[in-house]
Amino acid sequence: MSSLTPAATKLFRQHHGVATGQMLTDAGVGRRARRRLVEEQILDLLFKRVYRITSAPITLESRCVALCLAHPTGFVSGPTAGRLEGYRRMPASEQIHFTVPHGLHIEYSGDTIFHQSTAVTPADVTKRSDGITVASPQRLLLDLSAALSTDDLLSVIEQSIQKRRCTFFSLVYYARRLAHSRRTGSLRFARLLIERGNAPALESHPEVVLEMAMKRKGTPIVRQVRLLDLPDHPPIRIDLSIPELRWAIEIDVHPDHLLLQGTTKDKRRDRQCHVIGWQVDRVTELDMLDVETLADELESVYLARLASIDVRQSA
C-alpha cells in the first residue's frame, strides 16, 4: 500500500474506488508502480487504463464511474441514472444503462446495456463531482419513456418539476427536439406533456395514479392551484378537486396522517373546509391498493355531490 500516495488515496475515495491511469500518474503513481500494485492485487484493471482499488466495495456507483472513465464521451442513462439521481418508480436491475455516441468503439461489459445515439449535445449530460456522467434531467425523462409505464413516467415528470430539476417548458423543448416514431416511448412522453400542460406538479406517486384513474372514468378532477382561505386556519393546498362543486380529495399516504396528532389536525382542517362549503374526502394507502375500485367510489361521490348542488341551485 506504500506505493499509493496520499493524493492517490484521496482520488480513490472521491471516485468510489476507481481512477484512470492518467489520474493516478498525476497523483504520483506511475505506470511501473501501477503494474506492481496490480500484481500485488491492491489494484484491479477493469478496463484499458481504468483501475479499481480492491479494498473498495463494488457498488452501482463504482461500476458507473468505471464506465464513464472508460468511455468519456458516454453517460449513464435510463433507469440506472434515475436510481442514481433519486427518482422514484425505477425498475430494479443490476444492469447499467449507458449511452454512447453512434459508431463509438465500445469495451463491452456483460452487465451493461449500451445505447447508441446520434443526438447528444453538452446540454444532454450532467458531470457529477464523483466522476459519474449522467443524462441531464430533461434528457433522462425522455429516455425513461422507453422503460416506464405511463403512470410511472408521469410520476417522475411530476417529481422532476416539483423538485425544480426542470421546468415544463424545458421538457417541451426536449420533446420537440428528440421525439419521433422511431424513438421508443418518446411520442407517449410528448402526449403526456400535452395532456398535463403547464399545471402545478403533483407531490406524490399516489396522487398521479389516482388522478389518471379518475380521468379515465371521465371525472373532471383537477389539481388544486389556488390556496383555500379558511376562517380560522392558515390557507391550505388540497391535492385534487372539482372547484365548481367545492369538492376536494386529500390523499393521506404520509405516516403522520396515521398518528393521533395528524388525524386531529386533518379533522380540524376538514371542519374549517365545511365552514366555507367544501366537502373533503380522504384517501388512505389501503384505499390505493385497488385504485380502479377507489376511482369508481369517488365517481359516485362526485355524482352525488353534483346532484346535491343542482338541487340546491334549483330550490
pLDDT, one tens digit for every residue, the chain (315 residues): 457 999 999 999 999 999 999 999 999 999 999 999 999 999 999 998 999 999 999 999 999 999 999 999 999 999 999 999 999 999 988 899 999 988 776 766 678 999 988 889 999 999 999 999 999 999 999 999 999 999 999 999 999 999 999 999 999 999 999 999 888 999 999 999 999 999 889 989 999 999 999 999 999 999 876 788 889 888 888 899 999 999 999 998 776 656 777 788 888 999 999 999 999 999 998 999 999 999 999 999 999 999 987 656 655
Say yes or no: 68 and 190 in one domain.
yes
Other C-beta atoms within 10 Å of 23: how many?
20
157, 179, 196 — which closes off a domain?
Answer: 196
162, 196, 230 — which closes off a domain?
Answer: 196
Say yes or no: 39 and 143 in one domain.
no
52 Cβ partners below 8 Å, 6+ apart? Answer: 17, 18, 43, 44, 46, 58, 62, 66
- Closest C-alpha among 91, 204, 224 to residue 158: 204
Say yes or no: 89 and 170 in one domain.
yes
Locate 311 and state its grid cell. 338541487
Residue 129 lies in a domain: yes
Give the pLDDT confidence score for residue 59 in this predicted structure.
Answer: 96
Rounded to the nearest angstrom, the gap between the alpha carbon of residue 266 and the centroid of all alpha carbons in its chain is 29
Helices 150-162, 168-178: axis angle to 10 degrees equals 130
CA angle 252, 253, 255 (to 5 degrees): 105
| CATH number of the CATH domain containing 216 | 3.40.960.10
Residue 1 lies in a domain: no
Instruction: Judge residue 175's burial from the number of C-beta atoms within 10 Å of its C-beta, 0-12 exposed, 13-18 middle, 19 or more buried.
Output: buried
Say yes or no: 92 and 176 in one domain.
yes
Own/partner long-range contacts of 19-23 (Cβ < 8 Å, ≥24 apart): 19/50, 19/51, 19/69, 20/49, 20/50, 20/51, 20/69, 21/49, 21/50, 21/51, 22/49
Say yes or no: 36 and 66 in one domain.
no
Count of domains for the chain: 3
User: Which value, in Å, is the radius of gyration of the alpha carbons in the chain?
Assistant: 26
Say yes or no: 30 and 153 in one domain.
no
Say yes or no: 71 and 191 in one domain.
yes
Bridge partner list, 99 = 75, 115
Say yes or no: 182 and 219 in one domain.
no
DSSP sequence for 23-68: HHHHTT--HHHHHHHHHTTSEEEEETTEEEETTS---HHHHHHHHH
- C-alpha distances out from residue 14 to 9, 17, 129, 135, 263, Å: 9, 7, 8, 21, 45
What predicted TM-score, i.e. pTM, was given to this entire model? Answer: 0.84
Say yes or no: 84 and 115 in one domain.
yes
125: containing domain: 62-196
Cα–Cα distance measured from residue 313 to residue 315, given in angstroms and rounded to the nearest whole number = 6
In contact, 243 and 220? CB cutoff 8 Å:
no
Residue 247 lies in a domain: yes
Which segments of the chain does DSSP mark as H helices, in order? 6-14, 21-26, 31-39, 60-70, 78-84, 137-144, 150-162, 168-178, 186-196, 205-216, 260-275, 291-314
In contact, 295 and 216? CB cutoff 8 Å:
yes
Say yes or no: 163 and 229 in one domain.
no
